[in-house]
Structure 1
Amino acid sequence: MRLRAGQQFEQQQSRFIGVGNVNTTKQEWQSNVHRDTYASLIGHPATLEQLAISLGLSQEELKLQFINKMIQPCGPVTKDG
């Protein structure tokens, strides 16, 4: 069972960059997850609208905030990555 799971994970790594690889640091992985999340929220207008209404912002303002957050590093930058 474990061998099969490992093979599936390796297959996912080769297919999708965001999954990472053996050399991916925790920092890089977290940044990928955050950027993918913001990109997904921006790419789904209904979700973006719901968030904008709940935060009292326009969709454009919220989209701009998300884009700016995608540019920023995720968490403190460490020496090892």
Structure 2
Amino acid sequence: MADKVRETQQYLHQKLKYIGLGNADTTQDEFATQIHRDTLASLAMHKDLLLYNATATSSHPELYRQNLIKSMVLPLDRGP
């Protein structure tokens, strides 16, 4: 019984820590948007990933970071 209580407490702690997980009322589009923004934020804040992607696109790392941050504001285009 104590394990179940501990698991519930850990789950609630993780849910508060990682707000992008959502809840039972989170739609698929909201979830996809959160994952997309989390990925862009991770790329923008990790120096090595930023440098790798900037080199692959032949752009300056700071310009690439700015473009990533700007694209976080835009809504996620799901297509037709």
What's 1:57 paired with?
A: 59
Mind listing any 5+ residue stretches in structure 2 that lack a counterpart? none
* 1:5-44 matches, cutoff 5 A: 11=12, 12-44=14-46
Distance 2:66 2:17 in 1: 30
| 1:38 to partner: Cα distance | 0.6
- Runs (4+) of structure 1 exceeding 6 A deviation are none
Deviations 1:34-55 (Å, cap 9, x if unpaired)?
1100110111001100111111
Kindly provide the amino acid, as one letter, of the partner of residue 38 in structure 1: L
2:72 alignment counterpart: 70
Task: Find the aligned partners of 2:63 and 2:72 in 1 and give their Cα distance.
Answer: 14
Question: Which protein has greater RCO, CA pairs closer than 8 Å, 6+ apart?
Answer: 1
Deviation larger for 10-19 or 32-41:
10-19
Q: How many pairs are equivalent? A: 72
TM-score (norm 1): 0.74
Helix, strand or coil: the match of 2:43? helix
Q: Highest Rg: 1 or 2?
A: 2
CA RMSD between the two structures: 2.1
CA distance in 2, matches of 1:15, 1:58: 33
| Identity level (%) | 33
